[in-house]
Every structure is written in C-alpha cells, then in structure tokens.
Structure 1
Amino acid sequence: MERTRCPARFTRALAAFSVSLLAAGTLAAVAPAAVAADTDLARNGGFESGLSDWACSAGSGAVVSTPVHGGSSALKATPVGSDYANCAQTVTVKPGSTYTLSAWVQGDYVYLGATGTGTTDVSTWTQSSGAWKQLTTTFTTGSATTSVSIWTHGWYGTSAYHVDDLSLVGPGGAPVAVPAAPTGLTAGTPTATSVPLSWTASSGATGYQVYRGGTKVAAVTGTSTTVTGLTASTAYSFQVTATNSAGESAKSAAVAATTAATGSTGGGNNAGLPDHALVGYLHSSFANGSGYTRMADVPASWDVINLAFGEPTSVTSGDIRFSLCPVTECPNVESEAEFKAAIAAKQAAGKKVLISIGGQNGQVQLSTTAARDAFVTSVSKIIDTYGLNGLDIDFEGHSLSLNTGDTDFRSPTTPAIVNLIAAVKTLKAKYGSGFVLTMAPETFFVQLGYQYYGSGPWGGQDPRAGAYLPVIHALRDDLTLLHVQDYNSGSIMGLDNQYHSMGGADFHIAMTDMMLTGFPVAGDQTKIFPALRPDQIAVGLPASTQAGNGYTTPAEVTKALNCLTKKTDCGSYQTHGTWPGLRGLMTWSINWDRFNNGEFARNFDAYFG
C-alpha cells in the first residue's frame, strides 16, 4: 500500500541478423526439398485486395495508392490517442518450423512482429525519415503450434505509418479443419449470480466460445468457465462452440441451469462473509499521520480487518514476523493480551481478522524452497499466536517479477511465483475450508497484463507487469477476495482499448469489469485470463486524499457501484455484464478513514444498507 505505480514507456532494441553463406562447390548437395517447399503464407501482404485478411485496431487502417513500395497499394495506419494502430492476421503454420517475417515500411516508428509462436515471440522496429525500409525477423514455432499472429503497428502520438510487401516465408501449414462441436457440457452448482460450466475437449480446438441463450458471453482456452453477472432464481440455457484458425464449430447441445436465490453463494470459499463486505487495513505494526487505532476501537462497519503488516526478516528469507507498534511510536498501543482479546471479540461478532503480508516496505521473494517452507512456518505461527482467520497477500515492489520466458500465466515457471502458490496451498490445506484468503495487488501487477506480460510481443517491458496473474489463477478456487488497488497507479487500458485514469468512476468500472469478464493476456487470444466470480471481488480505493493517489469521492464511488451492480450511471465505459453479487469495497485504510471522519465506511453502509 501507499506505493506509486506509473507504467513506463517501454523501449525496444532492434535485433541484428546474420545470413550464413553456402560454401562454393556444395550447391547441389545443400539444396534441401524443405527450402523448395517454403512459400509466402501471408495473405494479401501487398494490400492489393484492400484490407482483406487484415484486422486493424480502432478502424485505424486504410489502403492508399501512394506511397507504395510495390504494386498499386499499401497499408496506411494512423495511431490516435491511446491506440497505436495495430494491424494483424492469423496464419496457419507447421510445428517445429522456422519462418522469416519481413515487410517494407516507412513512418516515425513502425513495428513488425509475431505472437503465439509457441517458443519466443519476436518483434523488430525502425524509425524512418521517409524512405522505405525493410524490417525482417525470424522465429521457430513450438512443437504443437499450428497458427501464429503476425502484426505491425505504430506508436502513441506519432503520425501515420505505411507498410507494403509484407511476407511470411516458411513451410506451409497443413489445412486446418473446423473442430467438431464440444460434447459433455454440464453445469455445476450455481450461485445466485453465476453458473460454473465444463465440457469435453474437441480435437483440434484452440479455444471455446460460451453462449447464454444464443448470446456469446465468454471466450476461453480451457474446457471450463464460470458465467457470471446472472440474476438470482432465474433459469438459463448455455451452449459451447469450439474454435481454431479455420473457424467455429456448431453449438453443443444445450444445458439448463437455474441460479440460486438471492443471498446464496454456492461454491467457492466465501468463509462466512456477508453478501456485501467492507474490507480495511489496520495499521497495527506502525504509526503514520493517520494515528494508531486499537483493535477494540475498529468500528463495526468493517467486516474484514487486515493487520498491516507482517514483514520478512530479509527479502529472500521467507521468514515473516509481526509485532504491535512499539509504544515509543504509538503511545496508545494496547497490550498483546488486550489485542488478542479484541480480535476474539471481533470474531465473535462475525468479523474476519487476517494477517497481511508485504506492503510498501515488506518485499517478499520466495525464490527457493527453503524460503517457501520458512514462509509457511512463520505465517502459521502468526496465525496461531493471534487466532487469526487467514492471510492477505499484499506483495508490492519487486516481490513478483516474471523470469524471461515465463509467458503463460496458466503454467508459471518463475520460482518465486511457483513457491508462493505452493506455500498458500499448503496453508489452505492446513487450516481447511474456513481459511480466508485475500489479495491486494496493484493494477500494475494485474490489469496491465492485458497489454504486457512475459516476453510478449513488445519485449523489454517491466517483468512485474501482470505478474500476479499466475498466482490469482492458480489459487482462484481458494481465493475468498481479490481487491486490486485501484490507486497509486498510472492510466490503465480497459477492454475498450482506451486508457482510464484514477480518481473517477470510469477507472474503477473498467478495472473491475476486466476481472469479472476475463481478458486476453498481452493480446494473445489463446491465453484468456478467465473471469472471477463477483462474490470474489471487492473494489480497492484509498479512504482519503492523504491515503494515496487516486482518491475517489463518495459520489463517484456510488456511480461505480451503480454501474457494476445495476448497469446504471455508467459513463464512457460500458461493462460486459451486471453483477449485483459484487462482494464490496476495500480501502487503505481503517486508520485513514477514521482520520477522515469515517466517510468511506458511511458511504458503504448507506449504499448496501
């Protein structure tokens, strides 16, 4: 908490390539059949057929007759505002094969690349003073890769760029057949606002589309999802189709499900929370300008109280310690016995008290199994000593950074991330179904994964961008609440491909909609981050102007809640659903809210009654 995050502009380095020359006298011996079979797989790479086979973001592309490099046409694409004029197409390729991507370009900044290669995605770029320049890059497909996306784009705030004679040369991919319709579609136990679905995989499918009453509501890569934003006590019908580069299958047989009555939460780990909960952080181990608040003095409005903070003895030790604020810093601090008694009293009143690990100054990196085990042991000791209900993960700074090559949130390889997931699963197994697990990542670590993740199509970006996504995904069945910090952040792009800034309703609506709708990670449509349930989501805000950048007035908070739960008061951002089961709000912090005369808690109580 209280940490500023401003996404930086990411720079690129132009790759240098070398060409191996055939030795004289061996020409006949080294002319393999595979080379003769290579072909140009890019469709309409000269743009002689208009924009056929190309998709350009935000309507940014057009075909012009001048300037051209060859033929009579070329692409002209114009970045506008937060859109950088990306034009792309999907091409069928062969697994384990090498391809050369090239194009002639001109413009202030022009980029060329390929994603979904199954190995290392590639990109290259150039600045041009007006003359045509050729960009070239190569890649090798993975052992199971049958299609890739090739793309070109400009950059924010620059003038139009031009592309012509684009080619992708390599072995032609075998024809891909449209997959058969999925079978075995079943519905799990519904909640009042969601229905879990699962089905049998279709051979050759790379993704699935989920339909509710004939309307597409989700796109996923796996064989299960949870459809959210539903109305209580209502019958629904669902179908699923399978997709790949050849197209979309027929719809599966329909399955019917009826949502539970209002107030029911069905599966998941709701841990006895009220339908709408107020979550706050209590400065228990330190003082700041907000003053120290004793546990017994925490107002009854707060349903989840996160003790801030448990911190490591060193960044890599995994050994977490917690102690009350020293009396020299907090003259009104209670005794240990009073603190424990007050926790028990809160719990008797139905409140949950958690230990929050991390914060602005408590970087934790579980890079080794020894650190993982020390984390489990030390966190267990804190929970047992104070009789707590669970754990809040508030890793900030460089606690979570993706290693190079860790490009799939569904199967992370970075040790610090793998070990954190394992440690939390161990704690959950130890304490059972009543264990409350919450997370408070910054938007930088979550929603920024929509644009940047792993090595991605950009290369060189901050490895923390989206680094929480593997943790959230792996623990989604154990997760009680996710309350992303919608503050101390730069502008973030929403699913509308527009940037949204802190402090207004639109920012909270757009950031929350992403978690309740799901989104492709780093623009890769084969890697869709699945939606969370609305009962797992609380919107995170600062309690006052002193608590962090991005303070949002009660009127704007109310607008955000109205849009998310009722689809009224929506501003420039239109949500992809309506979620009356949204769990509630989180704030930094209880102390700052008391300092601000309880404005945040009063607004929550007035809204949810």
Structure 2
Amino acid sequence: MSLSRIAAAAAAAALLIGGLTAPTVAEAATADLVADPGFETGALSPWTCAGPGSVTKTAPHFGSYALTDAATSSDVSKCSQVVSVKPGSSYTLSGYVTGAYTILGDTGTGTTDGSIWASGSGWSNVTTSFSTGASTTSVTIYVSGWYGEGSYGADDISLTGPAGSSTPPASSATVPGAPTSVHSTATTSSSATIVWTAPSNTGTTSTGAAAPLSGYTIYRGGTKVGTATGTSYTDSGIAASTAYSYTVSASNATGASPQSSAASVTTTAAASGGTGGGTGTGTGGGTGAAAQLPEHLLTGYWQDFTNGAESLPLSAVPTSYNLVAVAFATSTSTPGAVTFSIDSGLSTALGGYTAAQFTSDIATLHSRGQKVILSVGGQDGTISVSDSASAAAFASSVESLMSTYGFDGVDIDLENGINPTYMGQALHAIAAAKPGAIITMAPQTIDVLSSTSDYLALALNIEDVLTIMNTQYYNSGSMNGCDGGVYSEGTVDFVTSLACTALQAGLKASQVGIGVPASTSAAGSGYVAPSVVNSSLTCLASGTGCGTFVPTAKYPTIRGAMDWSINWDASNGYAFADAVQAQLAKLP
C-alpha cells in the first residue's frame, strides 16, 4: 500500500519518453536514410504497424500523405521501419508528430535507445540522437501513441548519419484475415456470449510462412470490450432488453486484422423484481466459500500488526464486512512458499492473542456468515513466484495454511511486481485443490492500466477462478481512464474510468471492486469520503451519480468495495463500513 512502485514507474516513464540529453558529434551524413519518410507512396510499406495504421490524405504536414494510427487502452499502436546503419556512428532522428501523446524513438542501437514525445493538435517537430554499437548494422525507428490517448499522426521522418553497407530486407509479414460467422449463442438480461470462426488466413511471418494467431479483440458498437485467446467471449454487465452490435478482430505478431462483419444481439428482459441477471454468487462452480458470498459485498483488511490504527481481535470485526482479508502472510526460505503467525506486537497489544484464539475467531466469523482469507504481500511483501517450482511451493503452502487456520481462500497484494504466468499457475492449483476457494487481488492502480499490465494480465489469466479484483484507487496521483482522459485520484471520475479499463479488458462486473482508504490516516493520498465510493458504485451499476465520465454501459453486478483497513475504520467509528454497506444493499 505504498508509493514505491508508482515512483519507480514514473522514473521509468521519464526515461522512456525523455530521449537522450546530449547528442554525440555528428559524422558525415546522408540526406535521409528513411525509406518513404513522408509516406508519399500512399502505402504503409516499408513501414509496419502493429495496430490499424494507415496512410491518409487528411491534413498532412507536408506533401500529399501522412501516417495515422490510434493507440488503445492496451496497445500503443507502434509503426516502425528497419534502417541500415554503420557501427560506431552517430545519428539524428527527427520528424513531425501530432496527437494527444505521440512518441518518436529508436531501438536496437547497441547502446542506449532513445525516444522523444510531443502532445498537441498541431504538428510538432521532435528530435533525438543516438550512437550505434560496435557491431550494430541496423536499427528500428518507430512512432507510436500512448495507452488510451487515441489517434496520432506522423510525417516527414528523417534519420541522418552514415549509410549502412546493406539494405535490410523488406518484411513480408502480414496481418490475419478477419474472423467470420460472428454470432451469439446465449444471452441473458445482462450478458451475451459471442462466438466466431477463426480466419483461414492467419497472416504470414517475415519469411512468408504462416503466422500463428495470438488472440482476438472483441468490440461492442466499435468500442473494445475485451480480448480472448479462443473463439468465444461473454460480455457481461450490459443492459436488459437492449440491442448491441459486436465485431471481432484477429491478431498475430505483426498486427490486427480488419474487424469482422457485425453481429446484432439483443439481451433478454430483466426478471420482475430481479437483479438483471447478475452473476453475484461469485466463482467456484456454485460450491464452496466463493459461492456463499453476497452479490454485492464489502471487503476489509484486518491488520496482524500495530501501526497506530485500533488493534482488535478478529472476532471484533463487525458483520458489515462480508469478506475479511488477514494481512499478511510472509515469505519463507523456500522460493514462493509463505507462512503466517500472529504478530507478537499485536498479541501484546491485545493482552496475549494466541494462534488458537485467532483460529477460533475465524470459526466465529464463519458462524456469522462472514468469510476470511489470507492476504499475501503488502507494501513490504517479497514473495516471488517466477517458475513452476515456486508456483507449486506457493500453492502448497497456501493450501496448508487454509487447512490449518480455516481460511476460505487467498488474496494477492504483492506490490513489487508479479509474474502472471506462474502466479496464475499457482492460483489455478489452489482452486483445483480447494474447490470454491475465494481468490482475490488488490493491485495498485498502475498495475492495471491495460490488459498487458502484470496484474490485469493475471486477472484475465485466472478469470475462471477469480472471485474479485479490488484495485487500490489511492496512492496513485493522476491516471488515464478507459476513455483516454486523465483523471485525478480522490474523485468519482478516477474510480469509474479506471474500473472501466478492467471491465473493457474482459473481467466480469461481478469480479470488479473498488479499493479505497477507510480514513485519511490509512493512506498517503487518495482518501475519498464514503459518499464518493457510493456515487462510484451507483455510477457503474446504473449510470447515476457519475461525474464528468459516464460509462458507455451499465454494470449492475459490480461486486462492491474494499477498504484499507478494518482497523483504521474502527479508529473512525466504522463510518466507512456503515455508509458503504448501506449503499451496497441498495444496488440492483
């Protein structure tokens, strides 16, 4: 629950977009080493675009044509060209760019790659320099947008410096054909399952061989709503008795296909007095602790340590908290393995709180209908699951702790990076060994800005067993929402526009929750009053109470809220739990 990863990410971003600060001494240079620098052939080649890049006649910087492309919330939409260069030489890269956030850069230099960016509706000239390594004979120059910032343009790209001795081969890689036969196989009042046929033309690699498909992107009304690796997708949290139009695009390593022909789908009517067909019973196949959680729930962290918040035994947690995450499990000497024991400081503060009393208190909460899970990590957590062995150790140790103490599942709150592949492997193993286990995550905001961010990638990887992801909408500063806008923490817009990113990436509304501090003392920044949390919930669920950002869809099965922590809430007379739980009861 700290700012450490935010600061590190900001520093990395500054390095990414800042370019090199001191150009080296220029050598004798050709006029321009870039092929078709102004896109005047009217075609993309020899440029290659990972997204739906194209050449346009609309308002070029100079001449008749310019490049145009559009970044999405999950892809910067890079267009690039390989250029032959001389080893140990100096080069200057420049060009004209336009758009909310456009980057010009170079990779493969053999030294320090550079980049530079500009922002604005008019054309801006940007320049960066680099030197090639002792064995570098080609570099890749590129132009791209930035996540969620939308359309950008580029024109008159120039690379000056000594020409290389050979011309890089032109790539023959192609994108796939469009998927076909898109249609719906099932609808409810709040969801539609879309299926399609994979394109017979999967595209080609640079050698001309058939390229494998990497996945699909699903669009509702032209707006991306999710991704899939197979040929089906369920779009949840949509309105009853409403017609929607769906298209699908296939992707390979080169880029995305055109979108398919549209399929029209109409959701069914909501049942009288019902909840709009929500999936509020959670995951876990209908059995186990996950299936016993309410449709809308309040999660809180119980602190197994003292830090100025009120210390309290687990049995003192009020029933307004449906799900209690015990913070935190710690690492062992075995990579990936975790352990848990009552902190001696807390035991002293409570007059001698033993492991036996703690275990008895878990049983007490169970008798009240509350569930208790073990949270792994926290601000100082150093657990690393980075291969199959550590994944197996993590799963085995969590399963053992569940059996020993009676935990109903596990929460992942690792704030120093995760490996989506192997953590996903571990969590699937826990779900298989403990059917119906509650599996939750509490990522920092920066970890879920796109579907390729580590935590959101993990969430999508374990969507079949994930109960809820409660993103920490605090200690964040300003961030891009799903519409590309920049929103400041501590507002309804910040919460709803960033929750929208997870929903559009493909998580079910019933798997998305709002994480906030319980009091002004609980976090460094981002505290919001319970009324802001309640407005955010109603905005997502029904489109009311929104700020300037209004989601394009309603998500009546939005899962609920989380706070850090129950102890800080106790210090404030449980003002947070009382207010938010009352609002959760009013949701559809």
Provide TM-score, normalisation by structure 2: 0.71
1:319 maps to 2:337: yes
| In 1, Cα distance between equivalents of 2:127 and 2:327 | 57
Deviations 1:181-213 (A, max 9, x none): 51264435x56533333322113367756465x
1:504 partnered with 2:500: no
Once residues 596 and 181 of structure 1 are traced to their aligned partners in structure 2, the CA distance between those partners, rounded to angstroms, is 55
Q: Give, in angstroms, the shift of residue 292 of structure 1.
A: 1.4
Could you tell me how far apart the structure 1 residues matched to 2:256 and 2:355 are? 65
> Which amino acid in structure 2 is aligned with residue 325 of structure 1?
D
> What is the aligned partner in structure 1 of residue 200 from structure 2?
203
Q: 2:431 aligns with which of 417, 428, 442?
A: 428
Once the two structures are TM-superposed, the CA of residue 64 in structure 1 deviates from its matched residue by: 5.2
Looking at structure 2, the residues matched to 329 and 493 of structure 1 have their Cα atoms a distance apart, in angstroms, of 44
User: How far has the Cα of 1:556 moved from its partner?
Assistant: 2.0
Whether 1:124 and 2:114 are equivalent positions in the alignment is yes
Query: Structure 1 residue 226: deviation in Å?
Result: 2.4
Deviation, structure 1 residue 395: 0.8
Match of 1:591 in 2: 567
Tell me the residue number matched to 1:438. 440
Q: Are residue 280 (structure 1) and residue 267 (structure 2) matched?
A: no
Three-state SS of the structure 2 residue aligned to 1:278 is strand
Match of 2:177 in 1: 179
CA contact (8 A) 1:111 1:124 kept: no
Q: TM-score, normalised by structure 1?
A: 0.68
* Residues 1:487 and 2:474 are matched in the alignment: yes
Q: Matched residue of 1:11: which SS?
A: helix
RMSD across aligned C-alpha pairs, in angstroms? 4.8
CA distance 1:254–1:149, shift in 2 (3 Å): farther
Q: CA deviation at 1:608?
A: 2.4
Q: 1:332 to 1:259 in 2, by over 3 A?
A: farther
Q: Distance in 2 between matches of 1:90 and 1:76?
A: 9
Query: What letter corresponds to residue 180 of structure 2 in structure 1?
Result: P
Q: In the aligned structure 1, how far is the partner of 2:566 from the partner of 2:484?
A: 34
- Code of the residue aligned with 2:508 in structure 1: it is R
Pairing 1:438-587 to 2, within 5 Å after superposition: 438-447=440-449, 449=450, 466-518=453-505, 531-548=506-523, 549-587=525-563
3-state SS of 1:582 partner: coil
Structure 1 unaligned runs (5+)? 18-37, 66-71, 78-82, 142-147, 155-160, 401-415, 454-465, 519-530
Percent identity over paired residues: 29
User: In the alignment, does 2:239 pair up with 1:231?
Assistant: yes
Q: Do the aligned partners of 1:180 and 1:249 also contact (CA within 8 Å) in 2?
A: yes
Q: Are 2:297 and 2:584, in contact at CA under 8 Å, matched by a contact in 1? A: no
CA shift for structure 1 position 497 = 2.5
- Corresponding residue of 1:218: 225
Q: Quote how far apart the aligned CAs of 1:443 are.
A: 1.2
In the alignment, what sits opposite 2:206?
none
Contact 2:385 2:423 in 1 (8 A): yes
In 2, are the aligned partners of 1:292 and 1:332 still within 8 Å (CA)?
no
Whole-angstrom CA distance in 2 between matches of 1:174 and 1:76 = 20
Letter in 2 for 1:418: T
2:268 aligned with 1:258: yes
Shift of 1:11: 1.1
What is the letter of the counterpart of residue 544 of structure 1? S
Q: Tell me what 1:11 maps to.
A: 15
Distance 1:63 1:516 in 2: 36
Q: Give the drift of 1:303.
A: 0.6
Q: How many Å separate the matches in 1 of 2:410 and 2:114? A: 44
Cα distance between partner residues in 2 of 1:361 and 1:134? 39
Query: What amino acid sits opposite 1:533 in the alignment?
Result: K
Deviation sequence 1:524-543 (CA, Å, 0-9, x none): xxxxxxx2000001100000
For 2:65 and 2:261, locate their aligned partners in 1 and report how far apart those are by CA, in whole Å. 39
Deviation of 1:498 after TM superposition, in Å, equals 2.9
State the partner residue of 1:248. Answer: 258
Q: What's the offset of the Cα at 1:311? A: 0.7
Given that 1:282 and 1:306 are in contact with CA atoms closer than 8 Å, whether structure 2 keeps it comes out as: yes
Q: Give the counterpart letter for 1:228 in structure 2.
A: S
Paired with 1:139 and 1:181, the residues of 2 have a C-alpha distance of 39
Q: Provide closer, same or farther for how the CA distance between residues 39 and 282 of structure 1 changes in structure 2, counting only shifts above 3 A.
A: closer
SS in 1 for 2:225: strand
Q: What 5-or-longer segments of structure 2 have no aligned partner? A: 25-32, 44-48, 86-91, 119-124, 147-152, 161-166, 203-212, 285-289
1:388: which partner in 2? 407
1:298 aligns with 2:296: no
State the distance in 2 between where 1:351 and 1:110 align: 49
Distance 1:44 1:301 in 2: 62
Letter in 2 for 1:431: K
Partner residue of 2:581?
605
- Distance verdict in 2 for CA 1:139–1:484, change over 3 Å: farther
* CA-CA distance at 1:289 after TM superposition: 0.8
SS, match of residue 483 in structure 1: strand
**Which amino acid is the alignment partner of residue 569 of structure 1?**
G
1:364 and 1:487 map into 2 onto residues whose CA distance is 23
Q: Contact between 2:105 and 2:128, CA under 8 Å: does it hold in 1? A: no
Per-residue deviation at 1:111?
4.8
Q: How far, CA to CA, are the matches of 2:65 and 2:218 in structure 1?
A: 37
1:29 is matched with: none
Q: Which residue of 2 aligns with 1:521?
A: none
Matched residue type, 2:337: D
Q: CA, structure 1 residues 379+260, in 2 after alignment: closer, same or farther (shift >3 Å)? A: farther
Structure 1 residues 562 and 256: alpha-carbon distance in aligned structure 2, compared to 1, 3 A threshold: closer
> Counterpart amino acid of 1:297?
A
Q: 1:442 is matched by which residue type in structure 2?
A: Q
Q: Aligned letter for 1:202?
A: P
Contact 1:39–1:171 (CA under 8 A) maintained in structure 2: no
Output the CA distance in 2 between the equivalents of 1:470 and 1:124: 27
Q: Hey, what's the Cα distance between the residues in 1 that align with 2:444 and 2:328?
A: 16
Contact persistence 2:180–2:196 (CA under 8 A): yes
Alpha-carbon offset, residue 42 of structure 1: 6.2
Partner of 1:573, secondary structure, is: coil
Deviations 1:359-382 (A, max 9, x none): 122210123544333322322221
* Residues 493/131 of structure 1: CA separation in 2 closer, same or farther (3 Å cut): closer
SS in 1 for 2:382: coil
Letter in 2 for 1:240: T
Distance of 2:577 and 2:520 partners within structure 1: 15
Question: Partners of 2:431 and 2:172 in 1: how far apart?
Answer: 47
Residue 360 of structure 2 is aligned to residue 341 of structure 1: yes
Structure 1 position 248, deviation (Å):
3.3
Shift of 1:104: 3.8
Partner of 1:586: helix, strand, or coil?
A: strand
Cα displacement (A) at 1:328:
5.6
SS in 2 for 1:292: coil
Distance apart, 1:393 and its partner CA? 0.9
CA distance in 2, matches of 1:563, 1:504: 12
8 Å contact 1:104–1:135 — kept in the other structure? no
SS at match of 2:454: coil
What letter is aligned with 2:440? T
State the 1:436 CA deviation.
0.6
Q: Is the 8 A contact 1:217 1:227 kept in 2?
A: no
